[in-house]
Amino acid sequence: MARIFDFGGREVERRQTVASLRALKGTGHHATQVTAETAEEAAAAEAAGIDMVVCRAANVARVREGSKAVFVTAALGFADVITADDILKSAFAAVTSGADAVLCSRGVGTVKMLADEQIPVMGHLGLVPRKSTWLGSVRAVGKTAKEAIELFDRFRRLEDAGAFAVECEVIAAPVMAEINRRTGLVTISLGSGPEADVVFLFTADICGEASRLPRHAQAFGNIAPLQEAVRSERRQALSAFRAAVQSGAFPGPDNDATMPDAEIAAFKTMLS
């Protein structure tokens, strides 16, 4: 654990820092990253030894309630923050609330603006789902030499803009391996093979919550039946409550507050 001061001026301990993540390059060791949007999910990640979590910028404070140790990256909403002032305000709010970095899917100009303020910025390359119209479909990126070299150029431009890391989503694994050897960016593989500095999966996929797994994911748990059991039990309990109210069975004597008979009589006398 590293002792640092966060961007809010608090003395904290972190499993990873920007410096330690950069030091992973070339070591063959991997950090782990998952998603977390609640204190409960963040606490589970910390207890499991996970190094890093990604959350929406608006949820940083609640994630920090669950974990003080994990490295938190705040994703800036693509449509929530649009102007330069909006982006800067959201980024500063996120890091002063406890985030260690921000994830930005905007252009290199935006990345440079944030990096110039010494805010650690993580870019997003490969398959960026909301931009998949440029690819023509939801697919892996870098499956031809031409596309792979164009992708490498985007890595270089992102690094030149001042990003310290990049989420690499569904990039052909051999291409990811070659790029990782040639970039100073901390690479975070989401479906881009093992040759990256950090390996990332969504918590819902890891825990078996999703009805359909993407090819790059793997379920290590089976929460879906448990969640369905909870939903079923909730519906049953609510139905039973409604039926008890309609039949007059609830509320009953055991649920009601009482008062002494003498006090009841006195109250009725006062009323009349």
3-state secondary structure of 52: strand
Q: What are 155-213's pLDDT values in tens digits?
A: 999 999 999 999 999 999 999 999 999 999 999 999 999 999 999 999 999 999 988 88
pTM: 0.90
Nearest to residue 92, comparing CAs of 69, 74, 111?
Answer: 74
DSSP 76: P
Q: Which residues pair with 169 in a beta bridge?
A: 126, 190
Nearest to residue 191, comparing CAs of 202, 180, 183, 204?
Answer: 202
DSSP 191: S
Pick the CATH number of 2-221 from 2.60.120.260, 3.20.20.60, 1.10.287.130, 3.10.450.50: 3.20.20.60
**Domain residue extents for the chain:** 2-221, 226-271
Give the CA distances from residue 17 to residues 4, 166, 188, in Å, rounded to whole numbers and listed in that order: 9, 15, 14
Q: What are 29-63's pLDDT values in tens digits?
A: 999 999 999 999 999 999 999 999 999 999 999 99
Res 9: pLDDT? 97
Nearest to residue 42, comparing CAs of 14, 16, 71, 20?
Answer: 71
